[in-house]
Amino acid sequence: MVNDWRTAGVVGTSTDDAGSGSTGSGSTGSAATLPQAVGWPEVSVVMPCLNEAGSVGICVGKALAGLSAAGVAGEVVVVDNGSTDGSAAIATAAGARVVAESRRGYGNAYLAGFAAARGRFLVMGDADDTYDFADLGALLAPLRAGQADYVLGSRFAGEILPGAMPWLHRYVGNPVLTGILNRLFDVRSSDAHSGMRAFTTDAYRRMQLRCEGMELASELVIAAGRADLRIEEVPITYHPRVGASKLHSLRDGWRHLRFMLLLAPRHLFVLPGLVLLGLGAVGQLALLPGSLDLGFHRLDLHFSVLFALFTILGWQLVLLGVFADVHNHAAGWQERRRWPLTSIHRRFTLERGLALGAVLFTAGLAIDGFVLARWLANAMGPLNELRPALLAMSLMVLGAQTAFGSFFLRLVTAGPSGGHGRSGWTPGAAAAATGAAPTCGSSWPVGGSATPGTDQATEGDAATPGRPRPGAAAVPDETASPAGEAAARGQSGGRSGADAPAPAGPPGTPLGIPAHQH
């Protein structure tokens, strides 16, 4: 059930002209192409809600008071994610517009709320009374002044009240996860998993959010950095929540870590692989003449076997990293490519890969031929050539991996005949043609797990049946056409920016912002 979409939950503005300048719910135009509708709220405060009867009414009241104190026309949108305790009715009575989202998940609830929102600025916050919505002015000030596209309310830069955050989350979980996220994705955040943020509708489109579960908290920071948004942080106060927490510390921390690692193949695969490859190659060459005395220990044959393992495993990890990077880019999860991935993708051709594989395999075969000749010269008697034999095996395995890996990389980047490249294929164009784009579905870690300190969780998340999985069919052209970019962002061109209005329409329609980017 949804309240009347033109009048409910709007404070500080007349609703008589709410439909002016709109194209109606059936419009296919982008929000960026329409004039600002008279009477539309400037700010939409979006709250996900799952069985928060004890706090949702309080949060709605504080948000309306905060909008009034900030002197902005605004609305409060509560997304009911299947509550059974009357939360929706309480939110309605408090003055919110309630949107029902049957698909469980913190991300699903927020994306539905963002799609239903009519404001030029979107504010997100939990409905458990941990965030003080009465102080929205500080969060909105950088957006309204045009100084930022995305504002994060930092609990660690502000104040965490006694009992608001468990010791494990405050001193271990949040700092560690935030530090890892900053390192992997070159962002600078003091509180990556804060539940209170604000951004423009244009920034929302540019981020192309898709996660259905609590990983949305990590995705927001990653996507904001990837889209080169102007980011600011403001200190906020974090309060003890009303009701029981839905957090599961270890499980939820692992889900966020897993999500970040899968989006960072350079750090997960390539860099560790290069370290192992270098260590293995140097070690094998150092031990090729014989044992090596380090003074405190003698490295002998067993270390030659270990270094051979390092060499093969390292190269396998590098190849996996290249494949994962191709997949992520094709699925729309672009990472800022850095060495060596930039060089690999720029210089790779199937023929060069096959040539490199052939050189490595031939070198190994030649060393094995030398060992065979020594054995025959010794009348096929006892042979002590295990070190060169291990080096030969390593080179031959690396050569075979390179050759077959090159075929696979060619397949996923250009197709068997190279038709993807000749036809101008890009994921954005494919999405525009099919009406589909990858989501944070079953191929990715999704779910209603909560982040430490962000415990407005929705439970029982699952990938939505019938949604397409992210799939690598080609590497996106990073200089894709503007039309392709617009299609990927759900835009149709025209005016853009923080002042881009949303077209009129009931909450069930996209309102110019793709609800789930699928």
Inter-CA distances, 331 with 7, 57, 475, Å: 39, 39, 9
- Domain ranges across the chain: 10-262+444-459, 265-332+334-422
Residue 61 is predicted with a pLDDT of 96
Domain topology for 10-262+444-459:
Spore Coat Polysaccharide Biosynthesis Protein SpsA; Chain A (3.90.550)
Within 10 A of 217 (CB to CB), how many other CB atoms are there? 28
In this prediction, residue 10 carries a pLDDT of 54
Mean pLDDT over the full length of the chain: 78
The per-residue pLDDT for range 205-247, each reduced to its tens digit, is 999 999 999 999 999 999 999 999 999 999 999 999 998 887 7
CB neighbour list of residue 437: distance below 8 Å, 6 or more residues apart: 210, 332, 427, 431, 468, 488, 517, 518
Task: Supply the pTM of this predicted model.
Answer: 0.73
Give the pLDDT score at 484: 42
**How do residues 302-317 score in pLDDT, each as one tens digit?**
999 999 999 999 999 9
pLDDT band at residue 323 under the 50/70/90 scheme: very high
pLDDT: which is higher, 340 or 239? 239
Q: Rounded to the nearest 5°, which phi and psi values hold at 232?
A: -130, 155
| DSSP line for 77-115 | EEEESS-SSSHHHHHHHHTPEEEE--S-SHHHHHHHHHH
Structure token pair of residue 197: 């943020």
Q: Is the per-residue pLDDT at 478 higher than 70?
A: no
Distance of CA 478 to the CA centre of its chain: 18
User: Of residues 206 and 14, which shows the higher confidence score?
Assistant: 206
Structural element, H or E, at residue 356:
helix 350-377
Mean pLDDT lowest among 131-145, 321-335, 465-479? 465-479
Report how far Cα 225 is from the mean position of its chain's Cα atoms.
Answer: 10
Mean pLDDT of 322-349: 83
Structure tokens belonging to residue 86: 């009357």
Q: What percent of the chain has pLDDT over 90?
A: 58
Q: Tens digits of per-residue pLDDT, 420-463?
A: 444 344 444 444 443 444 455 433 333 333 333 444 444 444 43
Per-residue model confidence as pLDDT tens digits over 39-73: 689 999 999 999 999 999 999 999 999 999 999 99
